[in-house]
Amino acid sequence: MKILLTAINAKYIHSNPAVYSLRAYALDAAKGCWLPEIELAEYTINNRREEILADIYKKKPDVIAFSCYIWNWSMVSSLLAELPKVLPETEIWLGGPEVSYNPDELLQKYPMVKGIMIGEGEETFYELTQYYGNSGIKLDEINGIVFRRQEAIVQTDPRELTDISKLPFLYEDLEQFENKIIYYESSRGCPYRCSYCLSSIDKKVRLRDIEIVKRELQFFLDNKVKQVKFVDRTFNCNHEHAKAIWQYLLEHDNGTTNFHFEIEADIISEEELEILAKMRPGLAQMEIGVQTVNPMTLQEIRRTTNTEKLRKVVERIRAGHNIHVHLDLIAGLPYEDYDSFIHSFNEVYNMKPEQLQLGFLKILKGAYMQEKVADYEMQYLDTPPYEVLSTKWLPYDKVLLLKQVEEMVELYYNSNQFTYTLPILQTVFPDAFAMYRSLADFYQEKGYFLASPARSYRYQVLLDFAMSTELSNKEEPDKGRSDKEDLIRQALTFDLYLRENAKSRPGFARDLSIYKEPIRAFYEKEAEEFCYLTEYKNYDSRQMSKMTHMEIFDYPVWEDDISKKMQKRDKPCMVLFDYLCRDALTYEARYIVVDGEFL
């Protein structure tokens, strides 16, 4: 008897903690007693359906259990139609959030499915293994399932919530998670009632015993895992729990591992902020769901966000330059029209997060928002990801515009390729949103949405876009255009070399041939005195010149003050990029302004 727990992930780097937890719990609960063979199979949505079907067939399972989510339901449902053709005797079970809220309907639609596990599945799955192991337990004695009995559909009593401190640790064997994100759970449930979120259904927050959590975190630290992503819905909803974990990570930091947390910023305490301020750059990153700053929208979706406090907290966290901040917005919420969303976008953009995620409302099965669809006059996709197409406040054409803006933000802001160029471009526009909207129009005009420029060519595209704007000297148009072009070219050059020691010189960069002699003189002197490159004492001048990069600038594009950034210097200066010394948070190279004697 073989049971195949099957996960279809969104990307190769993802893993599915659910199937690992089901198997680990069953093995632990059996305590050495007989169990059916439990095998795991993980695929991605990028695999061809035929490939997955063939692989499952070769495993010859007696029972298949699919872990079902919004991102994989299309693939899973297509497999359901094909599996009985090649494995006619194999029984099929489903579980997960995508199938937990309309199981009767799904069993009628998919007659090949034997049953569906509802909600948390660890104990339910273990009892199913006992059923298939002929232990005498009957299906109608297993809580938390809906199953087919001949022509009838039977639903058992709900399963009580799990004590998550009793769940086994999933990662004793790290080899199977090589090159994948490690997901970790220190709590389940959420105290908030956000109408668009499935976590609002389970308002009882359960915490994993803190001593167990510390032991497991130490395992990650000892093994120098690259990243651990906490899947707790609101990590800091229990302040003592959050403080204990953050303090432990602060005290036991291995200098390598990064920990990702989803937090509610406006409830964070002063003590928590003080702990975060002491952390190594790169130790922690915070994802904060802002969603909107519209007060009516916040009230309607049952969020209690204090936007002003959130803004101050984000500013406080960013001031330490040690924590990556990721802010989320949702388009398509009730009472949020196009102008309101623009306001929300600009407010959040001005908080200067390292990442700004512009998402679109999804009407999830079981969420309260689904009950309000008619009231909000929402149209949304019938199939995953169930994204909103229009609302009473936001027509479809505006949704399409926001989709284009989302892509521009992803390519030009979230890529962190253009950190010093974008603030210069923004001076032309009334606000940040207007800049990205204009850039989207430029992309549309050039056909780039259909033929997206390669990463390296996006610098040139941004230069072309800049030259199409009004950043110029209106009194002396020709001079203004020339100065403007020089400024943008130099900002792009600075952005490029700040991130990589490019071997192929870009076409937009200035000609350095006339500066060969002063650049050579700098490296020769540096090889004797090591005034700037103290970590290069084992290298000669030629080696240093290859390992670093020297550039010539007329504009101090690195200045924070935008007016200084755009003010041409009386004479050019040299800027040295040191790639052995990088910013731990942004991974930008150290840069040194070398003024004076060499030019």
Its CATH class, for the domain covering 2-155, is alpha beta
Mean pLDDT over 480-487 rounds to 81
| Cα 424 from Cα 86, distance rounded (Å) | 61
* Residue 546: Cβ-neighbour burial (10 angstroms; 0-12, 13-18, 19+): exposed
Distance between alpha carbon 196 and the CA centroid of its chain, in Å? 19
* Residue 473 scores a pLDDT above 80: no
Share of the chain above pLDDT 70, in %: 97
Q: Which CATH number fits domain 164-394: 3.80.30.20, 3.30.1360.200, 3.40.50.9100, 1.10.3720.10?
A: 3.80.30.20
Mean pLDDT over 197-204 rounds to 72
Sign of the Cα pseudo-torsion (366, 369, 374, 380, in order): negative
Mean pLDDT over 39-61 rounds to 97
Query: Quick one: pLDDT at residue 133?
Result: 87
pLDDT in tens, 576-589: 999 999 998 999 99
Query: Quick one: pLDDT at residue 475?
Result: 46
Query: Quick one: pLDDT at residue 581?
Result: 95
Cis peptide before 385 (omega within 30 of 0): yes
Q: Dihedral through CA 265, CA 270, CA 272, CA 274, nearest 10?
A: 120
161 pLDDT band, cuts 50/70/90, is very high
Share of the chain above pLDDT 90, in %: 88
Q: Which of 285, 254, 260, 277 is nearest to 354 (CA)?
A: 285
| Cα 33 from Cα 135, distance rounded (Å) | 11
DSSP code at position 209: P
* Residue listed under structure tokens 């803004």: 311
Coil vs helix vs strand at 3: strand
pLDDT in tens, 398-418: 999 999 999 999 999 999 999
Coil vs helix vs strand at 37: strand
Residues 6+ apart with CB under 8 A from 588: 419, 498, 499, 582
* Residue 122 scores a pLDDT above 70: yes
* Residue 534 scores a pLDDT above 70: yes
Record the tokens describing residue 245, joined without a space: 């974990």
Letter for the amino acid at 198? L
| Cα 41 from Cα 227, distance rounded (Å) | 23
Helix 49-59, helix 73-86: angle, nearest 10: 50
Q: What is the pTM of this model?
A: 0.92
Query: Quick one: pLDDT at residue 471?
Result: 61
Contacts 24+ apart (CB under 8 A), 396-403: 398/337, 398/338, 399/331, 399/332, 399/360, 401/338, 401/437, 401/440, 402/331, 402/338, 402/341, 402/358, 402/360, 403/360
Helix 307-319, helix 270-277: angle, nearest 10: 30
Give yes or no for a contact between 511 and 521, defined as CB atoms under 8 angstroms apart: no
pLDDT in tens, 417-472: 999 999 999 999 999 999 999 999 999 999 999 998 998 999 999 999 999 987 64
DSSP code at position 412: I
| Cα 436 from Cα 409, distance rounded (Å) | 7
- Number of CB atoms found within 10 A of residue 365's CB: 15
Query: Quick one: pLDDT at residue 519?
Result: 95
Give yes or no for a contact between 481 and 467, defined as CB atoms under 8 angstroms apart: yes
380 pLDDT band, cuts 50/70/90, is very high
* Residue 201 scores a pLDDT above 80: no
Mean pLDDT over 517-541 rounds to 94
Instruction: Identify the bridge partners of residue 86 per DSSP, sorted by sequence position.
Output: none
* Residue 262 scores a pLDDT above 80: yes
Domains 2-155 and 164-394 fall in the same CATH topology: no
Delimit the domains of the chain by residue range: 2-155, 164-394, 411-492, 511-594
Query: Quick one: pLDDT at residue 244?
Result: 98
Query: Quick one: pLDDT at residue 202?
Result: 64
Query: Quick one: pLDDT at residue 95?
Result: 97
Mean pLDDT over 8-25 rounds to 95
| Cα 99 from Cα 179, distance rounded (Å) | 29
Give yes or no for a contact between 6 and 66, defined as CB atoms under 8 angstroms apart: yes
- Number of CB atoms found within 10 A of residue 563's CB: 8
